[in-house]
Amino acid sequence: MAEIILNVDVRDGVGTGGARAARRAGMVPGILYGGDKAPVAISVNEKDFRKSLYTGKLLGHLVTLKYGEETQPVIARDVQFDPVSDRPLHFDLMRVDEKQTIKIEIPVHFINEDQCQAFRQGGSLEVVRHAVEVKVRADHIPEDLIVDLAGHKLGDTIRWSDLKGTKDVEPTITDRDFVIASIKTSSAAISAAADEAQEAEAAAEAEAEVPATEQAGEETSEG
């Protein structure tokens, strides 16, 4: 079963008024839906909800809902926040079976940027997908999908097949090996490459002039 347990109460009041009343009481209002059952208005203690939220293992993951002595697995699908205070205002939970295959978006994380020579050459990362929708068993949802940037070069295109952490998941896009990101040659990189070419050309010209000068010196001494 999931690591996080949400102790919920069933709310009598629904709609905007009921949600406001829950917030005044120090609760976060939410809705439980899915599983061929009617939606149920619920609420969770805001302090406990924040603790669960900040673990990073609440949203988009399998968690345990507890109501009295009853428990059931659910997926936290959405959390709405106040745009100013960042206070959680509302959340959605979806009923699932632990072994049920569901569709869900998994975030993509990029690692080892400091080990990618392309960025030292002035390249820039252009991200096409910050998350990928996949089909996965509810109890096998990965924390994230990983792109290891170490060893990538300028001009590389990073695709689904390059991701790590895809063992138990299947993308909902199945007709192609779709693009996640690419490493573009920036204007700074082009300028740096031009400067290097000019320096190399100047060095080559300087080396070519040395033998000619030495030869001229030898002829003078012989005369």
Residue 49, classed as helix, strand or coil, is helix
Among 157, 153, 163, 146, smallest CA distance to 111 is for: 146
Sign for the pseudo-dihedral over CA of 203, 208, 212, 218: positive
Per residue in 168-219, pLDDT tens? 899 999 999 999 999 998 665 556 556 666 777 777 777 776 655 555 555 5
Please state the three-class secondary structure of 186-220 as a single string.
Answer: CHHHHHHHHHHHHHHHHHHHHHHHHHHHHHHHHHH
**Which residues does residue 182 pair with via DSSP β-bridges, in sequence order?**
126, 157
- In this prediction, residue 151 has a pLDDT band, given cuts at 50, 70 and 90, of confident
Model-level pTM greater than 0.85? no
Return the number of other C-beta atoms located less than 10 Å from residue 162's C-beta: 17
Phi, psi values for residue 58, rounded to 5°: -100, -65
Give pLDDT, residue 175: 95
Name the most confidently modeled range: 1-15, 128-142, 201-215: 128-142
Q: What is the mean pLDDT of residues 66-89?
A: 91
Give pLDDT, residue 135: 95
- In this prediction, residue 156 has a pLDDT band, given cuts at 50, 70 and 90, of very high
Sheet with 131-137: list strands edge to edge. Answer: 145-148, 101-111, 131-137, 170-171
Instruction: Report which of residues 46 and 209 the model is more confident about.
Output: 46
Give pLDDT, residue 157: 95
Residue 178, classed as helix, strand or coil, is coil
Report all structural domains of the chain as residue ranges with CATH numbers, in order of start: 5-98 (2.40.240.10), 102-185 (2.170.120.20)
- In this prediction, residue 2 has a pLDDT band, given cuts at 50, 70 and 90, of low
- In this prediction, residue 1 has a pLDDT band, given cuts at 50, 70 and 90, of very low
Mean pLDDT of the chain: 85
* Cβ within 8 Å of residue 197, ≥6 positions away: none
Cα(89)–Cα(20) distance, integer angstroms = 9
